[in-house]
Amino acid sequence: MKNKKHLAIIDTPFNVDYSNGNISGKSVINPIKKIKDLQNIFEDKQAFKNIDGDKIIYEVQAILPVEEGREGGLFYGKTIIHPGKVGNEYFMTKGHFHQKVDRAEFYWGIEGEGMLLLMDKNRNTWAEKMHPGSLHYINGYIAHRTVNTGTTKLSFGACWPSDAGHNYQEIMDNGFSARLKEIDGKPQLVSTQQ
């Protein structure tokens, strides 16, 4: 039959549970980052060694409807960072610039309390508070890392262009210019610059 698709009503391909941001649907990928995947991310090397390498620090669910690197598409994700610290530094993501460095991204808070750490090309670093309902526009050229400063899991959503890519190397080599640590019982941004 001609024009069959034109009149079709089809099943919803993806669903989001708004109580916790969980994504379901075909081809949801679920990468997991354990402490052993996060070498050289945290400052306190001794505290890092004392944690079981298989301990899960964060988990991502993502829908990549087009091939990564292709121009014009959008990706959608949810990240859960478990609560905890390495020494006095909170659990956090690796953090990245985009490989196509001008590409932007939205993040939004779903569950828990945290901070979005942002750093520009001149290594100026600042943090935005994340909480359920917080919305964050991350401009191109800005490195971004999320930190769970609370005692429960931090969940947040993300939407980014399919050709953005991840540049982890810059952060692996030089880190951010500040770290989020618990000092006197509260989160504080501590400069790493001399």
Question: Which member of 21, 90, 91, 105 binds Zn ion (CB under 5 A)?
Answer: 105
Q: Residue holding tokens 């402490």? A: 35
The DSSP secondary-structure symbol of 51 reads S
The DSSP output letter for 114 is E
Size of site (CB under 6 A) for ligand M6P: 11
Structure tokens at 47: 């505290």
Stretch that binds Zn ion, among 75-83, 86-94, 101-109, 124-132 (CB under 5 A): 101-109
DSSP string for residues in 83-123: S-EETTEEPB---BB-SSTT--EEEEEEES-EEEEEE-TT-
Binding of Zn ion at residue 163 (CB under 5 A)?
no
> Judging by DSSP bridges, how do beta strands 74-81 and 125-130 pair with one another?
unpaired
Site string (52-71) toward ligand M6P, x via CB under 6 A: --------x-----------
Interaction between residue 161 and ligand M6P (CB under 6 A): no
> Is 104 among the residues that bind ligand M6P (CB under 6 A)?
no
Q: How far apart are CA 45 and CA 43, in angstroms?
A: 6
Residues that bind Zn ion (CB under 5 A): 105
Residues that bind ligand M6P (CB under 6 A): 60, 77, 79, 93-96, 105, 158, 160, 166
